[in-house]
Structure 1
């Protein structure tokens, strides 16, 4: 593998009319690799396989996927962003299960982690009742719109509330409020993605789930965001809040 970005198909062949490309029908994971090893690979696999179940996609052998990636990464030092996508292949619009499903992988050097992030509130709400709640779906346009809105507003990330007015998540991150020295994060019922770094904080006792509203945001001592590739990063400013 070259020192820059690389993409390869791990399973299947390019299929004309693959609905992963034409309709965003598929799932993906973005993972961190450090010195050739995938961080939290098992948790990423559990989330991807659950997404496959929701979208009725054939399930890949996750251990084979990880083994193949780590073979490619062998000898590569440092931090790498690894994206695994599972597409639905060709098929009809009224049937999820298709033919020619494929798994492809993109690897690139990981960007430097910022010391802090500036955020603003998204101009629309997350739908906590969506059937895709908790699925890391290839249909990612809503999050790309949010990232573009953030860029145009001069901030790094947009934070979403849901239709009930509860704190939910960032466009590409989970969110935490520090209240009385304890990290608190919205529950999955808020509509947020079950992030792998979030899971680690919860299982280690460093964070707890709680329904949070604008009142708690205003009372928070500090605010943090997390993602698999960045870890936990403090919010330095929430514009307009």
Structure 2
């Protein structure tokens, strides 16, 4: 009997935006307790697919990372040269995402960091949510072995959690995932795998960690950014290539749809059930669609 091979051990790096730092296992690196990313979820991250020693769609991920930092008033995060150098070191040290058929997830983290404690400032700004103006941003990454997932899943619509149609955070991949965690808990309690989040403006928005695609009238549609859904990298590529169009989507639209998928940089999963109700399947292959988006042009090194 063939046994699945164990995944390679993850590797992590912690340092600053200029690329100065140290390597170890994720469990052995420590973030200071006064880091705003830890205390206040005041930071951003990107999750990038690594295969054949390359970070696929890295340019698109870094573009969103940089734009989100500017939107939230964070210092500019590291650019391609720093990330690519660290990725090369990570794959060399771990072997993750280098062998044929192996894949990895590269998570890039950028925190507003810690305030300068040497200033002697003992005001409330050093303890609350106020910005002290002397924060030192912190950068860390982790490369973990993964297997892209295309298995069907059951979903519910969260009865309590929503995505804000107006919040700046909805336009960024921030550390603040509390609503998604609660919605995922609700899904598991209901015997489902994931939850769909309604938009504060009405209609459905997205899954807890993925964009929503619905096969409707012979083509794929996805909620517009005005719903508060994350501007996903795979979502953007599908729109740019004319494979998907934006449209408002309600819960009733899923029941009448030909298919519904949840897609992100590491997966494309068809929705088999909404609650207890089975949904139709378009007969299209989610992995083929997902890889079509990846292979539309050459990956970034």
TM-score (norm 1): 0.91
In the TM superposition, what whole-angstrom CA distance separates every residue of 1:140-193 from its partner, at most 9, and x where no partner exists?
A: 222122222222222111001112322210000100110122000001000000
Please say which of residues 8-17 and 132-141 is displaced more in the overlay. Answer: 8-17
In structure 2, the partner of 1:221 is 258
1:25-174 equivalent positions in 2, closer than 5 A: 25-63=42-80, 64-74=82-92, 76-77=98-99, 78-91=102-115, 92=125, 93-95=129-131, 97-124=133-160, 125-174=162-211
The CA RMSD measured in Å over matched residues stands at 2.0
Q: Relative to structure 1, is the Cα distance of residues 145 and 98 closer, same or farther in structure 2, using a 3 angstrom cutoff?
A: farther
CA positional deviation for 1:70: 3.0
Quote the offset at 1:101 in angstroms.
0.9
Q: Which residue of 1 aligns with 2:244?
A: 207
Q: Tell me, in whole angstroms, the C-alpha distance in 2 between the residues paired with 1:98 and 1:216.
A: 49
8 A contact 2:150–2:270 mirrored in 1: no
Q: What is the alpha-carbon distance in structure 2 between the residues aligned to residue 189 and residue 234 of structure 1?
A: 24
Q: How many angstroms does 1:99 deviate by?
A: 2.1
Three-state SS of the structure 2 residue aligned to 1:132 is helix
Alpha-carbon spacing, 1:81–1:19, altered in 2? closer, same or farther (3 Å): same
Q: Secondary structure at the match of 2:41?
A: coil
- Mapped to 1, the partners of 2:113 and 2:134 lie a distance apart of 6
Instruction: Measure the CA separation in 1 of the matches of 2:273 and 2:153.
Output: 7
Larger radius of gyration: 2
| Count of aligned pairs between the two proteins | 239
* Deviation per residue, 1:105-150 (Å, 9 max, x gap): 0111114514211111111222212231211111222212222222
Q: Report the secondary structure of 1:197's partner residue.
A: helix
CA distance in 2, matches of 1:235, 1:27: 28
User: In structure 1, how many angstroms separate the alpha carbons of the residues matched to 2:266 and 2:134?
Assistant: 32
Does 1 or 2 have the higher relative contact order (CA < 8 Å, sep 6+)? 1
> In 2 relative to 1, CA 178–15 (structure 1 residues): closer, same or farther, beyond 3 Å?
same
* TM-fit CA distance, 1:11: 1.9
CA separation in 2, counterparts of 1:212 and 1:28? 27
- Residue pair 1:10, 1:65 contacting (<8 A) in 2 also: no
